[in-house]
Amino acid sequence: MKWYISLKNSITILLMALSGGALFWIIDSYLDLRYFYRGEGAFIELLISDIPAHEIWVRLVVIIVFLIGGILMMLYVNKLKREYYYRQIQQQAIIMKEKRYRSLIESMNEGIALHEPVYDHTGRAVDYRILEVNRRYEEITGLTRDEALMSTASEIYHQDTAPYLDIYQRVTDTGVPESFETYYEPLGKYLSISVFRPEPGQFATVFEDITVRKLYEQEKEETQRKLKTLLGNLPGMAYRCENEPLYTMKFVSEGCKTLTGYSEDELTNNSKVAYGDLIHPDDKEMVWKTIQASVEQNEPFKLEYRIKTTGNSEKWVWEKGVGIPSENGKVNILEGFISDITELKEKEKKIQKQVTEYHALYEEYLTQSEELTQTLENTRQINKELEEARKKAEEGDRLKSAFLANMSHEIRTPLNGIVGFAELFDDPEIDDKDSKRYRHIIKENSHQLLNIVSDLLDISKLDAGQIELYEEAFSLNGLMDELFETLQLKAGEHGIELRVQKDLGDKKAYIRSDKYRLMQIINNLVSNALKFTDEGYVKYGYRLKQKNLEFYVEDTGIGIRPEMQEKIFERFRQADLEITKIRGGTGLGLTITKNLVEIMGGKIWLESEKGKGSIFYFNIPYKPAHEFQKEAVSDTTVLNEHDVSSTHVVLIVEDEESNFDYMSTILKRMNLKVIGALTGEEAIEKTKKHPEIELILMDIKLPVLNGYEAIREIRKDHPHIPIVAQTAFASEKDRITANEAGCDDYLVKPIRSQHLKDMIKKYVHQ
């Protein structure tokens, strides 16, 4: 300012001097001053000279020019003065603005940091430098301002790469702000970060510590999850609704679907139906008045009423709730719980009805003595029945004990034969004749033990209600012939003639039923007949009677006493325990047979005379198959054990070493080449590696990849290779599952050598 005042003063003096000089110059041109003395003193004489007019004008113009120049100079100086003054004001404003800006930033609850990217020699951003931070930045990060300024992010945060560099670089390049939330592990905090570009080549972050909020949200979510789980498990519907006649639901729990038939979305905000419209018309007014009366008294409400569900069925519900007052004290919201009490109401009706009936009986009891007598008689009858029940229970315990003792004998007997004669094979002096006899005894005892185990499994399934029927179309005549082939050998061993009778032609005998269970029933009855017949014959067959197939098994055996003919179907019963000790058996066969017949929709009965024989009958519904399939006659050449060339290859998939050795030994004796696999994966690989494989014997229960899954994979590349399932799972359902997986046939463990040979002959051709 001093230089300006000095300049102004100098210019003013100069202008005054110039103006004065010019004026003097003009005056001097006109006046001629002369000095002279007289005796009284000195005198000045002013003389006006004659000056040419044009010279006067020239001098006036010069003066005017000087004056205009001076004025312009003064105006310029004033302009400089104003500009200087404005600059001073702007500088003061900038200083004040920076102070206010800094004070504002420092007082913010969010951390703020200004950065600039750091680029490598290729121009790629590899880091960023911190240019400025506020107080809150220091509090959140734990870093001081001095530590942060001009440091790179990777240095100050001790990380190989700068955090969130890709986002920051994108904002720096585009200028488009971005916001995100993140968990920053080095600080152990959740942060909410907003990024913007204050000017080109820089970016600023505004971040907030939201750890408390995040933890609260997580806790809230967990609480809501637990609440939803709790409400979902309640036998009813929790709700929150508006206090108006439609009861517009704002929230309902998952139980609403079971209670009303409508989902949460359908009930909420009356999206499909209003809860008020579900209330029975006769109960609506009562419900409204009851709720409003309780709300006015500021008390919880409880009530019972009827609703209509999706199927237009009627339910009784019990509701308990409370009104939620708003800030002005008005109750606009109701909250509560509604449960289904329909079953309880029905029980109440029954109880009420019984109470009414009992009351009537009581009245009659008081007025009629005969009723009292009858009641006493009934009491005696009940006591008698209780006594009989007690005796039956004692008899049941006795039979169970006898059964357990007999079962122990039945199991230990074949086991003794198996173990004992197996040990005899260790005798080095055993000859071929004895060896053959020992093998026969072991085989017979093994079959006997297998039958006992099968009976125990069946009775367990019956107790558990796990017996299921699997109907299929099959030839009944074929089944009867198949049983004849199986049972004829046993009949020959007993010296008994076995006969079979078929009443229907092949077309009508093609039926739908559970083939496996029907075969089990007939086999049980025929095997029983053979066991209790010493001479004569056993005949079995069937006939069509109206809509039922009636089966019969007739024998010339020992017969059954009349008093035992009903009891033999009871569990643990046999007609004569002494005979049981002689003939053997578990006492479960007829029980299983009776239960299977009844499950198949039929009944069983018998006719018998002691010493002359018995006839067992049972029937099942006749269900003809609509599509008759004539039994196929195999054109496969029947092969002997050594008719198969060694060029034929069979893959045995079995994880039990003893089972593999057993089957491979039989196959090698048939001059077959054997390839082994322990797992499903190995079976798939060996099938791909050996295209010469003609038959696969697939165990079902394998580790990792089971047999069914392995079969499906093999079938993708080899749809025509015969695959035979061999498993201990023996139910009809397992057979169906094997067929669906792609099996051609089925062997049930334990596998008899003849069954295995027959299967080889069936699928391996010469």
> Residue 572 — pLDDT band, cuts 50, 70, 90?
low
pLDDT in tens, 141-154: 888 888 888 889 88
Given a cut of 80, whether residue 233 has pLDDT beyond it is no
What per-residue confidence (pLDDT) applies to 417? 60
Given a cut of 80, whether residue 729 has pLDDT beyond it is no
Given a cut of 80, whether residue 667 has pLDDT beyond it is yes
What's the mean pLDDT in 603-628? 88
Candidates 586, 577, 600; CA nearest to 455 is 586
> Residue 283 — pLDDT band, cuts 50, 70, 90?
very high
pLDDT in tens, 579-597: 444 455 566 778 888 989 9
What's the mean pLDDT in 627-650? 49
pLDDT in tens, 434-491: 777 777 777 666 766 676 676 666 666 666 676 778 788 999 999 999 889 888 888 8
Ranges of H-type helices in 562-606: 577-583, 589-599
Structure tokens at 122: 């290729």
- Spatial contact of 337 and 239, defined as CB atoms under 8 Å apart: yes
What per-residue confidence (pLDDT) applies to 319? 94
More confident site: 32 or 692: 692
Name the DSSP letter for residue 671.
Answer: T
Bridge partners, 723 (sequence order):
696
pLDDT in tens, 111-136: 999 999 999 988 899 999 999 999 88
pLDDT in tens, 403-432: 555 555 556 656 666 766 676 777 777 777
The pTM of this model reads 0.38
Given a cut of 90, whether residue 539 has pLDDT beyond it is yes
The Cα 464–Cα 498 span in angstroms is 36
pLDDT in tens, 194-213: 999 999 999 999 998 888 88
Candidates 262, 352, 340, 268; CA nearest to 306 is 340
Burial (CB count <10 Å: 0-12, 13-18, 19+), residue 385: exposed
The Cα 766–Cα 759 span in angstroms is 14
SS3 content of the chain, % helix, strand, coil (to 5): 50, 20, 25
Given a cut of 60, whether residue 354 has pLDDT beyond it is yes
What's the mean pLDDT in 70-75? 75
> Residue 20 — pLDDT band, cuts 50, 70, 90?
low
What per-residue confidence (pLDDT) applies to 26? 53
What per-residue confidence (pLDDT) applies to 611? 86
Sign of CA dihedral 448, 453, 459, 465: negative
Integer distance in angstroms from the first to the last C-alpha of the chain?
126
Candidates 448, 444, 426; CA nearest to 435 is 426
